[in-house]
């Protein structure tokens, strides 16, 4: 599979991770708006260490979704990794396990002991996608690995969940994170990637 085509598949799958939300009462300032969250603020040093030699590019797949952070490496041209963040309060009474249903209907398999609920699936040969919800923040994460070593998507999902904290979410939504750098956020994203 060519990298260009694979990147398009990753983006299309991440678009599917964005869900329409109830436009009810605002969250009373508990979380920053999804549009304020950035890869620079959310991608922890541990994630960068897990992907040595990869640069990151931020995209926004929809106005109400968190960022889609796409990682590429000059040395590993056939590997594309993405992490899509979707952090918002669920409507009252909605169980995150119910949100696994579309992934499971599409041939996914539930993953035990990974956040509140998690599932994995292989949408196309050579790709592994892990969908999970954090235990202590209202964040859904979609990790997609296209290329060799695709099973690393599970460990990357675990590392991503471990790094998401309420403090990091608030830091990622501050003006400093949006316009500049934040402490311990790691190097700035590479905006020059195609």
d(CA 184, CA 186): 5
**Number of helical (H) and strand (E) elements in the chain, helices listed first:** 7, 7
Q: Determine, yes or no, domain membership for 186.
A: no
Predicted local distance difference test score (pLDDT) of residue 16? 47
* Host H or E run for residue 90: none
Q: Give 126-166 pLDDT, tens digit per residue.
A: 999 999 999 888 899 999 999 999 999 999 999 999 999 98
Structural domain contains residue 25: no
Q: Is residue 61 part of a domain?
A: yes
Report if residue 51 sits inside a domain.
yes
Would you say residue 189 lies in a domain? no
Backbone angles phi, psi at 39, to 5 degrees: -60, -40
Mean pLDDT in residue range 162-187:
62
Query: In the sheet that 127-133 helps form, which strands lie side by side, from edge to edge?
Result: 54-60, 67-73, 80-87, 139-146, 127-133, 117-121, 109-110
Q: Which domain holds residue 126?
A: 3-17+32-173
CATH number at residue 161: 3.40.1000
> What is the per-residue pLDDT across 29-84, written as a single tens digit (0 to 9) for each?
467 888 889 999 999 999 999 999 999 999 988 877 899 999 999 999 999 999 99
Number of domains in the chain: 1
Integer Cα distance of 99 and 2 in angstroms:
31
Residue 69 is assigned to a structural domain of this protein: yes
Asked if residue 27 belongs to a domain, the reply is no
128-157 per-residue burial string, b: 16 or more CB within 10 A, e: under 16 = bbbbbbbeebbbbbbbbbbbeebebbbebb
Which has the higher per-residue pLDDT, 27 or 75? 75
Q: pLDDT exceeding 90 applies to what percent of the chain? A: 51
39 within domain boundaries: yes
In the three-class reduction of DSSP (H, G, I as helix; E, B as strand; rest coil), residue 129 is classed as: strand
């Amino acid at each position: 599979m060519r990298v260009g085509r694979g990147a398009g598949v990753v983006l299309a799958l991440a678009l599917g991770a964005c869900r329409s939300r109830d436009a009810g009462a605002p969250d009373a300032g508990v979380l920053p708006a999804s549009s304020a969250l950035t890869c620079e603020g959310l991608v922890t040093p541990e994630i960068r260490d897990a992907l040595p030699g990869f640069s990151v590019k931020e995209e926004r797949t929809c106005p109400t979704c968190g960022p889609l952070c796409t990682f590429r490496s000059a040395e590993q041209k056939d590997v594309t990794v993405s992490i899509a963040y979707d952090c918002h309060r669920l409507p009252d009474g909605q169980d995150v396990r119910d949100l696994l249903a579309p992934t499971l209907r599409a041939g996914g398999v539930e993953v035990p002991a990974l956040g509140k609920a998690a599932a994995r699936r292989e949408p196309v040969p050579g790709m592994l996608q892990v969908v999970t919800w954090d235990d202590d923040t209202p964040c859904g994460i979609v990790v997609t690995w296209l290329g060799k070593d695709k099973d690393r998507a599970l460990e990357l999902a675990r590392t991503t969940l471990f790094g998401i904290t309420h403090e990091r979410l608030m830091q990622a939504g501050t003006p400093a994170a949006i316009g500049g750098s934040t402490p311990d956020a790691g190097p700035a994203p590479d905006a020059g990637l195609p």
